[in-house]
Amino acid sequence: MTTVFKKTPVLTDTVMHYCPGCGHGIVHRLVAEVIEELGIQDRTIGFVPVGCAVFGYKYFAVDCVEAAHGRAPAAATGCKRVNPNNVVFTYQGDGDLASIGAAEIVHAAHRGEKITTIFINNAIYGMTGGQMAPTTLVGQKTTTSPYGRDPEHCGKPLRVAEMIATIEGAAYVERVSVDSVPNIIKAKAAIKKAFQCQLDGKGFALVEVLSSCPTNWGKSPAEAMDWIKSDMIPYYPLGVKKDRTNE
Amino acid sequence: MVSKVTIDENRCKGCGLCVRACPKKIMQLSKTKLNEKGYHPAEVIDQGACIACASCARTCPDAVITVEKE
């Protein structure tokens, strides 16, 4: 028998605390598989956020730092500058990166820090109980927008990948999704390219991953994946937003 | 082709994404079993029809599925 697929050793054996069907588990695995394939496990340092992925350090079998809310890019900047031979990545959700940490991510990209950011966009605050995030879609019901997000009152959802792509220091920006197996395979390729961008010293790389939150969306795991396709992707188009890794 | 899908049942959360992803429709959540956490774990109902595409394993958020083939 030859093995077609098995769990990567860069994920620990700890059972993840995520709800059934949560996209975080898929993205954790993709990041871990990329670290294994690039052979960088012994020199990778992860910076995990405040939010549902707060316990990421228990699941990645690499050294990790738990950063203050939204400040992972700032902490990662210091780590990378002191240890330029280490591979440094941040793993952040939309409440962490797009809201309280918006300044840190913009300026990390602006300075062209040679770090990799994996940004999980599930259009809601998961850990705190399903409040409206900057990425919540117009009309989407959350605990703090019970009648649906009103753009007159709250503005329209923030497209982070497009915003970061406008910044000179960003070398590689792509938006991917984990709603289907083909998209999961594309997401892994994007994450691998974002790590390679850092290994080649090209500059800041960000991959935005459209992910599901079945619990706070009030949907089954399968319905949540369908909702990414039907509602999220039309507003958050997939694809490469910036690529100067060949320059 | 002989293939083998192994599911670490006690780590499975019964989310059913593997059932959704399987192109041969040979996976289901167990109707009789409960695991340690109280979930109905995924199971393969027709191993002979498996094409070892590993779609189930690639979509599994908890990395509980191993796929092998001859």
Model confidence over A88-139: pLDDT tens digits? 999 999 999 999 999 999 999 999 999 999 999 999 999 999 999 999 999 9
Do A69 and A100 contact (CB within 8 A), yes or no?
yes
Model confidence over A53-80: pLDDT tens digits? 999 999 999 999 999 999 999 999 999 9
Do A11 and A28 contact (CB within 8 A), yes or no?
yes
Choose from B10, B12, B17 for mutation: most chain A CBs within 10 A: B17
| Cβ-based neighbours of B62, under 8 Å, separated by 6 or more | A15, A16, A18, A25, B11, B12, B13
Interchain CB distance below 8 Å, B68 and A11: no
Which residue, chain included where needed, has tokens 């040679």? Answer: A114
Per-window interface: A 129-158 vs B, CB < 8 A: none
Nearest CA in chain A to B65: A6
> What percentage of chain A exceeds 90 in pLDDT?
99
Model confidence over A186-204: pLDDT tens digits? 999 999 999 999 999 999 9
Task: Record the tokens describing residue B28, joined without a space.
Answer: 């289901």
Nearest CA in chain B to A185: B58
Q: Return the H-helix or E-strand segment holding A242.
A: strand A239-243
Cα distance from N-terminal residue to C-terminal residue, chain A: 43
How would you classify the pairing of strands A44-48 and B27-29? unpaired
Partners of A5 on chain B (C-beta within 8 Å) are 54, 57-58, 65-67
Model confidence over B22-43: pLDDT tens digits? 999 999 999 999 999 999 999 9
> How does residue A142 score in pLDDT terms, banded at 50, 70 and 90?
very high
Least Cα separation, residue B16 to chain A (angstroms): 7
DSSP assignments along A19-81, one per residue: PTT-HHHHHHHHHHHHHHHHT-GGGEEEEE-SSGGGGHHHHBSSEEEE-STT-HHHHHHHHHH
- Please give the average per-residue pLDDT across B12-18, as a whole number: 98
> How does residue A150 score in pLDDT terms, banded at 50, 70 and 90?
very high
Partners of A8 on chain B (C-beta within 8 Å) are 63
Nearest CA in chain B to A28: B61
Partners of B39 on chain A (C-beta within 8 Å) are 20
Evaluate whether the domain defined by A23-243 bears CATH number 3.40.50.150: no
Chain B residues with a Cβ under 8 Å from any Cβ in chain A: 3-4, 11, 13-17, 19-21, 39, 52, 54-55, 57-70
Nearest CA in chain A to B59: A181
| Cβ-based neighbours of A118, under 8 Å, separated by 6 or more | A27, A31, A89, A90, A91, A92, A191, A194, A207, A209
SS3 A145: strand
> How does residue B1 score in pLDDT terms, banded at 50, 70 and 90?
confident
Per-window interface: A 26-85 vs B, CB < 8 A: 26, 29
Count of domains in chain B? 1
Any idea how long chain B is? 70
Name the residue facing A5 among B17, B19, B66 (closest C-beta): B66
Give the ipTM: 0.96
Q: What pLDDT sits at residue B68?
A: 97
What phi and psi values does residue A216 have, to the nearest 5 degrees?
A: -80, -15
CATH code assigned at B55 = 3.30.70.20
SS3 A193: helix
Q: What pLDDT sits at residue A247?
A: 85
| Cβ-based neighbours of A127, under 8 Å, separated by 6 or more | A50, A51, A52, A54, A95
> How does residue A43 score in pLDDT terms, banded at 50, 70 and 90?
very high
Task: Record the tokens describing residue A196, joined without a space.
Answer: 């390679």
Q: What Å distances lie between residue B13 and A22, B38, B42, CA to CA?
A: 10, 9, 8
Domain span including residue B18: 3-69
Q: What pLDDT sits at residue B10?
A: 96
